[in-house]
Structure 1
Amino acid sequence: MGIKTALPAVELGLYSLVLSGALAYAGRGLLEASQDGAKRKAFRESVRPGWEYIGRKMDVADFEWVMWFTSFRNVIVFALSGHVLFAKLCTMVAPQLRSWMYAVYGVLAVVGTMGPWYLLLLLGHCVSLYVVSLSGQPWLCLSLGLASLASFKLDPLISWQSGFVTGTFDLQEVLFHGGSGFTVLRCISFALESCAHPERRYSLADLLKYNFYLPFFFFGPIMTFDRFHAQVSQMDPVRPEGELWRIRAQAVLSMVAIVAVDIFFHFFYILTIPSDLKYAHRLPDSALAGLAYSNLVYDWVKAAVLFGVVNTVARLDHLDPPRPPKCITALYVFAETHFDRGINDWLCKYVYDHIGGEHSAVIPELGATVATFAITTLWLGPCDIVYLWSCLNCFGLNFELWIQKLAVWGPLAQIEGSPGPHWLSCLSPTVVSSW
């Protein structure tokens, strides 16, 4: 027993050692590539002054990250700090009013950022879905909700509605699409929960308190209305043991990730090098492997930082937000390939599980995945890349079920169960059905 227990630890240690060595070797190649290419003409647009005191320029190819941590860093810190301060004050003085405080502060932040006309536009969508929810017809609520979402994703309606936003600044388009898209999903969740529980009689005020919770407003994650309402309505919230320690740990991890990304942007140029294919073709294999791995992990780190910061604030407010995304290098099935667990929970609850049931029958599963990725395509914004991504993921989910069915099919199951190694052993239902 002791030997069996020790073996996984030894294997994990060897794996970590090999991986660390490979990453260090690839990092050396990337560092040399960034140094050699820093003065290339193709790099000038996306490599700007950075840490001048050590002679390093910064990769600014990801404008969103750069804006968050340069121009809008102080605004974000000020807005979230104000939220935490007023939330703590209200929790101490009048905990029964804390949900109202969240909504009022969120409304003021939205008006200050995007203007009053943008607020009125979102209120129009909220009121429309609230009125439809009074009918108690889920299909009608979902239909109107998807129509509202389409109005923010398809022209000419999106151009007409974006005209309500006054002023211009760098992240205006990002905040417009983020706030409006998440608002519609929250309104759909409210409407469907109202239809599912008519005896609870949720009010328009409940919807507004849910929608204008500032930490989730622009960038998510999505908490379904039933979870948010139950948690925010607690009169005397009590933290679980060790919760404050976990909050501090999450905050520290987010800071470490931010610093790590900043180091990568100054030393490795992981986003700029792929834009110059002629130069990339001349790189050694180790540098190309490190470049591919870094770009793969960067998207996850970016999402983890965003949701990590937001979730830290939400936990301070006694909420239990969706978990941050799982590292993409740890994924092995299509069912876990989601960066936003909140949207994943939303889709599973209202579409995927509702249509697919126990996900054990081929035809219902096909219908569930098609419907789920159709809505996902609308949410992301219809375009060729999104179509391709959705089709591949839809096929992957169904293919996993087909393989599971094939593995338990009579003749093949007998072959697998016979003595001796077989390729079908990798198709064991225990392994495949773990998703």
Structure 2
Amino acid sequence: MKKVENHYVPLYRYEIYCYIIIWASGIIYAVYNVLAISSDLLTSDIPGLVPGWSWLGRKKDICLEWSLWCTFIIYSLGPWIILHSSILLLIQSYFVQVSTLRSVWLITVTSLCVSYNFGLLSVFMFIGLTVIYYCLLLFGNKLFVWITSLFLLGVWSYYNDAIFTMVDFSSDEDIAYLAIMTLYWHQLRCISFSLSSMDKTKSTTLPIFLHFLAYSFYLPCFFFGPIIIYTKLNDGNKNANTKPLHQRLLTLIINLIRYFFWMFVVEFVLHYIYINMFIQNIKVLKNFGITALGGFGFGMGQFFFIKYTFIYGIVIAIAQFDEFLKPPKPPKCISRIYLYSDMWRSFDRGLYDFLKW
């Protein structure tokens, strides 16, 4: 854009088209070079490749984190989410006057889900962490919250193996990894509640603690985020701004189709471009020219972006349907971010809201 008297004016249309063509051509050519190298490695005995879809007849790249997240969301978390949202909808429609019923249900369904996937002791561990931060409200000092948070982070790091051996995750490393990640997400929500509620520390009645548990135990974002700060919590009473059920349901279906489409795209592309295998086998990069390296860097960024777009997008779509929390917007495509300072504001918007404290 041209800057005139401290104001930006649009470029000429033909100039914009020219830039788009140059940019797209460069990206396509760079990605083509990466695709060519991946195809040359197709029949090689390269670690990190697994049998792919039979109808494609190609090996597939694999990202353990991506595979674990998708599998857990679809098979382990999906049925619980359906139960969670169905009962929550009934409560919001017919029992809105019972103020604590919604909180009790949110705590119950998440506790059952955690117990089913991680074990019963994990539920007490998450509740215990919530109690610690609830007790910090009695001091009314934000400094205590941060000091306690740093101390607990040190405990999680130093006694990592001991804690999760006690909870008996030793038989499944994937479950242990998910439990650790969930613990950190839960701590962020506890910090958010504590910092936002310092002006309410004189009230220690049971409904407030249930309110705390309900917020920190909200199932859709309990395992994978994003962090939705406490101030984004919607009032429990039904208000005039609530969208009609058919509109919310239609929006949910459209968004789920959209995000699962991108999951399919990622799975398809992993049969042709082996981004994660290249990361794990750095020696292969010696065969890359400068253009292929550019395509490799672009591919890494896009895979990272779509991975979090799928995970966060599913959670955000469900949260919008539930209308319990006001979720942040999904991540902004990193190809549209040209200032790194804008990365914090536009990619993980929930984390940005949290860091503004």
After TM superposition, the score normalised by the length of structure 1 is 0.71
For 1:303-314, list aligned pairs within 5 A.
303-314=308-319
Structure 2 gaps, min length 5? 1-7
Aligned match of 2:122: 118
Residue 306 of structure 2 is aligned with which of 284, 292, 301? 301
What is the match of residue 74 of structure 1? 75
Secondary structure in 2 matching 1:48: strand
In structure 2, the residue matched to 1:165 is: 167
Cα distance in 2 between the residues matched to 1:8 and 1:159 = 60
Find the aligned partners of 1:8 and 1:196 in 2 and give their Cα distance. 53
Could you tell me how far 1:209 is from its partner in structure 2? 0.6
Q: CA deviation at 1:300?
A: 1.6
1:94-105 to 2 correspondence within 5 Å? 94-95=95-96, 96=98, 97-105=101-109
Report matched runs for 1:179-190 at 5 Å: 179-190=182-193
Contact 2:60 2:271 in 1 (8 A): yes
Matched, 1:343 2:343: no
Q: For residues 183 and 262 of structure 1, do their structure 2 counterparts lie closer, same or farther at Cα, with a shift above 3 Å needed?
A: same
Residues 30, 292 of structure 2: 8 Å contact kept: yes
2:146 to 137, 142, 153: 142
Instruction: Determine the C-alpha separation between the residues in 1 that align with 2:82 and 2:109.
Output: 12
Matched, 1:194 2:166: no
User: What residue number does 1:210 align with?
Assistant: 215
Q: State whether residues 322 and 341 of structure 1, in contact with CA within 8 Å, keep that contact through their aligned partners in structure 2.
A: yes
Return 300-309 or 279-288, whichever deviates more: 279-288
Find the counterpart in structure 2 of residue 265 from structure 1: 270
User: CA 1:162–1:147 in 2, change beyond 3 Å: closer, same or farther?
Assistant: same
DSSP-derived class of the 2:293 partner: helix
Q: Secondary structure at the match of 1:323?
A: coil
- Please report how far the alpha carbon of residue 201 of structure 1 lies from its aligned counterpart in structure 2 after TM superposition: 5.9
| 1:316–1:333 distance in 2 versus 1, CA, 3 Å | same
CA distance in 2, matches of 1:23, 1:35: 18
Structure of higher RCO (CA pairs closer than 8 Å, 6+ residues apart): 2
Percent of aligned positions that are identical? 25
Deviations 1:260-289 (A, max 9, x none): 211210111122134334432223443322
Answer with 62-71 or 285-294: which moved more: 62-71
Conservation of the 8 A alpha-carbon contact between 1:264 and 1:270: no
TM-score computed with the length of structure 2 as normaliser: 0.85
**Alignment partners' CA distance in 2, 1:173 and 1:342:** 25
Deviations 1:9-40 (A, max 9, x none): 44443333333323332333222211111233
Partner residue in 2 for 1:322: 328
Question: CA contact under 8 A between 1:179 and 1:219: conserved in structure 2?
Answer: yes
The alpha-carbon distance between structure 1 residues 187 and 279, as it changes in their structure 2 partners (threshold 3 A), is: closer
2:52 paired with 1:46: no
For the residue of structure 1 that corresponds to 2:356, the secondary structure is helix
AA partner of residue 188 (structure 1): I
- Taking a change above 3 Å as real, the CA distance of residues 232 and 80 of structure 1, as seen in their structure-2 partners, is farther
Counterpart contact for 1:34–1:273, Cα < 8 Å: no
Distance 1:92 1:169, change over 3 A: farther
Output the CA distance in 2 between the equivalents of 1:252 and 1:302.
15
Question: 1:288: which partner in 2?
Answer: 293
Q: Shift of the alpha carbon at 1:8? A: 4.8
Measure the CA separation in 1 of the matches of 2:39 and 2:185: 41
Judged with a 3 Å threshold, the aligned counterparts in structure 2 of structure 1 residues 171 and 282 are, in CA distance, closer, same or farther, namely: same
Q: Is the 8 A contact 1:194 1:201 kept in 2?
A: no
Match of 2:84 in 1: 83
Partner of 1:19: 23
1:60-107 per-residue CA deviation (whole Å, 9 max, x = no partner) reads 1x1011123347632232222222222223333323433332221111
Would the alpha carbon gap of residues 198 and 12 (structure 1) be closer, same or farther in structure 2, given more than 3 Å must change? farther
Map residues 222-237 of structure 1 onto 2, 5 A cutoff. Answer: 222-228=227-233, 231-236=234-239
Query: Separation in 2 of the partners of 1:187 and 1:179?
Result: 12
List gaps (5 residues or longer) in structure 1: 350-435
Residue type of the partner of 2:138? L
Bigger radius of gyration, 1 or 2? Answer: 1
Query: Contact between 2:248 and 2:321, CA under 8 Å: does it hold in 1?
Result: no
- 2-structure distance, mates of 1:89, 1:78: 17
Structure 2 letter corresponding to 1:182: W
Give the aligned residue type for 1:179.
T
User: How many angstroms apart in 1 are the aligned matches of 2:21 and 2:316?
Assistant: 32
Deviations 1:121-150 (A, max 9, x none): 222221122112112222222222332233
Structure 2 distance, partners of 1:250, 1:342, is 19
- Residues 118 and 164 in structure 1, CA contact (< 8 A), matched pair in contact too: no
Query: What amino acid is aligned across from residue 309 of structure 2 in structure 1?
Result: A
The answer on whether the counterparts of 2:30 and 2:295 sit within 8 Å (CA) in structure 1 is yes
